[in-house]
Amino acid sequence: MNLLTKFSLALVLVFAVALLIAGKVSHDFLQQTARAQVLQQAQLMIQSATATRTYTEAQIQPLIGLRSRSEFHPQWVPFYAASQTFKYLKASYPDYDYKEAALNPTNPRDRAVDWEADVITYFRDHPGKTDFSGEREAVTGRSLYLARPIVAERGCLQCHSSPAAAPPAMLKLYGRDNGFGWKLGEIIGAQIVSVPMSVPLSSADASFRTLLTSLVGVALFTLVALNLLLLVVVIRPVGRAAAAADEISKGNLNVPELPVSGKDEIAVFLGAFNRMYRSLLRAMKLLERDP
């Protein structure tokens, strides 16, 4: 096995170990980054839903005025408006789901399931918390979610304090059994955006494949460049010196001196070889004159 092959194998081994370490570190980092990006998008979606709720309560409901006593339409309700707005947003983000889950909602579709109820309970037990994220097992696999608490405000109590305060049309639509008894400042539900873990994982895997391809490309380019440098700077000069030494050992003293350029170790070696060769020629000439 020649020197170039040994050097190439050593570099391949070094690059392989480096790629394994870099791959592990970068893969974990990309997964964390992708997860953070998905949560950031979920946060923007919750903020958008909150803006819809605020707009409905601050600008739509005052326009309704006294009509709310004789009429009732779900479109007037902030809960409903935020959920419906998200349906249009979901067309661009099909993997994301949004729900305004409540423990005691007026509309049965907003009732919290077991894990959503646990999230609401967490907010009740930690009133200072403004958001909460986590992972859960879903039917389709692991899911990532971000939640924010929904607090009963004064405007909510106009319909949800007691059945007597609710519009008759609302009672006719939903009945008198659910969605009442809310108290001012009480955490009655949570805004929850959920997305399958496959979304951040697939994004991280795609970025990792691109990064790994780039690293392998850089490693191959570096390997070729170093091999060419080794060939030009070391292998060829040493090979010429070895060939010249072989000819001299066979008695051929007409070998030209080796070219020397630079002041590195190879140049020093070639210069020493030339001096040794000249000394040998002088010694041979002296022996020929004085046998």
Tokens found for residue 78:
């902030």
Contact 149, 102 (CB under 8 A): no
Question: Does 149 score more than 90 pLDDT?
Answer: yes
* Mean pLDDT value across the chain: 84
Cα(192)–Cα(119) distance, integer angstroms: 9
- Predicted local confidence at residue 190, as pLDDT: 93
pLDDT in tens, 93-110: 888 889 999 999 888 888
pLDDT in tens, 98-145: 999 999 988 888 899 999 999 999 999 998 899 999 888 877 778 889
pLDDT in tens, 70-83: 677 777 788 888 88
- Predicted local confidence at residue 290, as pLDDT: 62
pTM for the full predicted model: 0.67
Residue, of 66 and 29, whose pLDDT is higher: 29
Cα(158)–Cα(51) distance, integer angstroms: 20
- Domain borders along the chain are 57-197, 228-289
Question: Does 284 score more than 80 pLDDT?
Answer: no
State which fold the 57-197 domain adopts: Beta-Lactamase (3.30.450)
Contact 105, 111 (CB under 8 A): yes
195-223 CB burial, b ≥16 within 10 A, e <16: bbbebbbebbeebbeebeeebeeebeeeb
Q: Which architecture, in CATH terms, is 228-289?
A: Orthogonal Bundle (1.10)
